[in-house]
Structure 1
Amino acid sequence: MTLRLTAAIGRYPHTAALLDGAIASDAVALDFADLPVPNRAFAPMVREQRYDVSEMAIATFLIAKAHGKPLVLLPVTLAARFQEAALLCRVNGPVKGPRDLVGRRVGVRSYSQTTAMWLRGSLSGLQGVASDSVRWITFEGAHVLECQDPPWTERAPKGAELLAMAKSGEVDAAIFGNDLPDDPALTTVFPDPAAAGRDFLSRFGFVPVNHLVCVTRDVATKYAEAVAAIVRMFGEAVAGSDLPVGRAALTPAIELAVANCVEQGLLPRPLSRDEVWDGLPAGID
């Protein structure tokens, strides 16, 4: 009998065959939730385990794991990208490059946002701009309710809007997600984002990972064979892409993400490899 599980996964070119049923398994069938964007699944997954299987931002997962949420990471990547193009400032503003952010106000939807985590890591590690040398203006809290923003953050006024604040100068720069504004009044903080991405790749050897996949601990414990089948299905879906699959392939990204989260006040302490992969059924590498 085929096990049916609920799943919340975004539609990308590499997940279309999975979502449309072209990639399937006799062991498990996934009933996909209808979500406008995949990040709508993150909060209900970490807070109440609403789905059996869910796409999950790497920063959110690490924070959730540190706070004991019953989630188990699967070694499959659904989204990865260089982040530098997401950091914008006014064309005629005071910020002309990354180092100008010291002492400045930078807006971001949430301090715990994965794009922001990777950018702050690059600013700190490659540009000498420590996370606590910037005043981060946020609009919402973390998906994990136990995670509190550090003291170098400030909540934007009620009703404020990130793009408007960036254009008016209320913030000196802003981090945007997938939907970058096409506005001639704004430009990238990194003068050459593509070159900055290549520098990151040459130094660390990977493209920053945004979204992975997780299951509830209950599913991982009770249905190990089904979890193995899910990993095979996702692996087939992303085959041919540059997205890393497997624990070894993901180790560099996860270890740097953990270090970034600790430096940025998102984790109380580093998580070991065993802690990150805790609960993953034996035989899944």
Structure 2
Amino acid sequence: MTKPVAVRTLLGDYPVTLALKKGEVKSSSVSLDFADVKTPSTAFKRVVRNLEFDCAELAIVTFLMAKAHGKPLVLLPAVVLARFQHPHIVYNIERGPLAPADLEGRRVGTRSYTVTTSTWLRGILANEHGVDIDRVKWVTFEEAHVAEFRDPPSVERAPEGKELTAMLLAGEIDAAILPAVPTDPRLKPLIHNPATAAEAWHRKYRALQINHMVAVKESLSRSEPEAVREIYRLLAESKKAAKLPKPGEFDTHPFGLEANRRSLEVVIDTVHQQGMIPRRFAVDELFDDVTRKLG
């Protein structure tokens, strides 16, 4: 019997991945060695700088930047995390009203300039609200996952020991982009009625705001194409086991190249518009001859 291909894997716990992570979806030809990482985003530097994983969940903005800098990774057409980002930029109502049009000349905190949620929100602010994002001061706490990227002049690093939400509550920044929508009643969405705004954005762009997809090393796809196909099958079976999307619901975890093409076009445009990649990739460039045919 042929020994299963061992695949060092970084993958978070999401509804669409739980069956796979729990071993309820299995393979006789591939053995996924899951890294003991509770929050995958904390290991994204290891994915793109050290090429530590054969298969990894990866922020789509990080993947595009890694692609621009020649990192040997290819995309699988599998979304494991996506959401509409509109409610994730907030302000402190105790310091008075604030709207997107007020942001120029103000300070907005975010973990890193290149965080995918922050990138989407800058695009929303620029394209839907007319904000000149280069006239906003972006206060960050970390460098980009991709070592070659240099933050633009509009970015400054927060003082050592500071924390994002605490800075917002103290008035040291005017708004903040947070990974989770806060429950603190003092913190309200900067974008009025974010659910309605998200629906309008979706109608306009006919796209999903992707956060994380799955990538594999080019070398794995070249040397073990059947293993890569099997990884995709496992992911698809895990999604199926989650019974997602539910009847009548919008699919926030699309699988397959054509199901993701439009959303990838929009994120490529957004990242390029902000100067984070030097050119607009064609969607097919993100895949290789193996992964392009999946789904």
The TM-score normalised by the length of structure 2 is 0.92
Give the unaligned 5+ runs of structure 2.
Answer: 246-250
1:260 equivalent to 2:287? Answer: no
Distance 2:236 2:206 in 1: 21
How far did 1:182 drift? Answer: 2.3
Equivalent residue pairs, number: 284
Q: Equivalences for 1:18-57 in 2 at 5 Å?
A: 18-57=20-59
- 5 Å matches for 1:172-183? 172-178=174-180, 180-183=181-184
The Cα shift of 1:94 comes to 4.8
Looking at structure 2, the residues matched to 119 and 281 of structure 1 have their Cα atoms a distance apart, in angstroms, of 29
SS in structure 2 at match of 1:78? strand
Alpha-carbon offset, residue 279 of structure 1? 6.1
Residues of 2 paired with 1:252 and 1:274: CA distance?
A: 12
Structure 1 residues 36 and 281 mapped into 2: Cα distance closer, same or farther (>3 Å)? Answer: closer
RMSD: 1.5
Task: Kindly state the Cα deviation for residue 265 of structure 1 after the two structures are TM-superposed.
Answer: 2.2
Deviation at 1:6, TM superposition (A): 1.2
Q: Secondary structure of 1:92's partner?
A: helix
Equivalent position of 1:85 in the other structure: 87
Decide which moves more: 139-148 or 100-109: 100-109
> Of the candidates 87, 96, 99, which is equivalent to residue 97 of structure 1?
99
Asked whether 1:275 is paired with 2:275, we answer: no
The worse-fitting range, judged by mean Cα deviation, of 97-106 and 113-122 is 97-106
Q: Between 141-150 and 34-43, report the one with greater CA deviation.
A: 34-43
One-letter amino acid matched to 1:230 = I
State which drifts further: 222-231 or 197-206: 197-206
Q: Secondary structure at the match of 1:233?
A: helix
The match for 1:12 is: 14
Displacement of 1:281: 4.5
| 1:245 counterpart residue number | 255
Assess if the C-alpha contact under 8 Å between 2:106 and 2:136 holds in 1.
yes
Structure 1 CA distance, aligned partners of 2:46 and 2:155?
A: 24
Q: Percent identity?
A: 42
Tell me the amino acid that sits aligned with residue 107 of structure 2. R
Aligned to 2:222: 221
Tell me the distance in 1 between the aligned counterparts of 2:287 and 2:6: 24
Greater CA drift, 22-31 or 215-224: 22-31
Distance 1:131 1:231 in 2: 38
Alignment gaps of 5+ in structure 1? none
Residue 68 of structure 2 is aligned to residue 66 of structure 1: yes
Partner of 1:201: 202
Q: Partners in 1 of 2:236 and 2:287 — Cα distance?
A: 17
Query: For residues 233 and 195 of structure 2, what CA distance do their matches in structure 1 show?
Result: 33
Amino acid at match of 2:286: V
Question: Over residues 145-182 of structure 1, what are the superposed CA-to-partner deviations in whole Å (9 max), with x where a residue is unaligned?
Answer: 0011111111111211111111111111000113x432
Q: CA 1:282/1:163 → structure 2, altered by over 3 Å: closer, same or farther?
A: closer
User: What is the TM-score with the length of structure 1 in the denominator?
Assistant: 0.95
Q: For residues 121 and 173 of structure 2, what CA distance do their matches in structure 1 show?
A: 17
> What residue is the counterpart of 1:165 in the other structure?
167
Query: 1:187 corresponds to which letter in structure 2?
Result: K
Structure 2 CA distance for aligned equivalents of residues 217 and 210 of structure 1: 21
Distance in 2 between the 1:108 and 1:233 partners?
A: 34
Summarize deviations over 1:68-93 as a string: whole Å, max 9, x none: 01111100000010111110101033
Following the alignment from structure 1 to structure 2, what is the Cα–Cα distance between the partners of residues 10 and 155?
28
Which stretches of structure 1, 4 residues or longer, exceed 3 Å deviation after superposition?
278-283
Give the deviation of 1:252 after TM superposition: 1.4
Instruction: Show CA shifts across 1:83-115 (max 9, x none).
Output: 111101010335522222122110000000000
Deviation at 1:205, TM superposition (A): 1.7
Aligned counterpart, 1:122 = 124
Distance 1:159 1:13, change over 3 A: same
Question: In the TM superposition, what is the alpha-carbon distance from 1:275 to its structure 2 partner?
Answer: 2.5
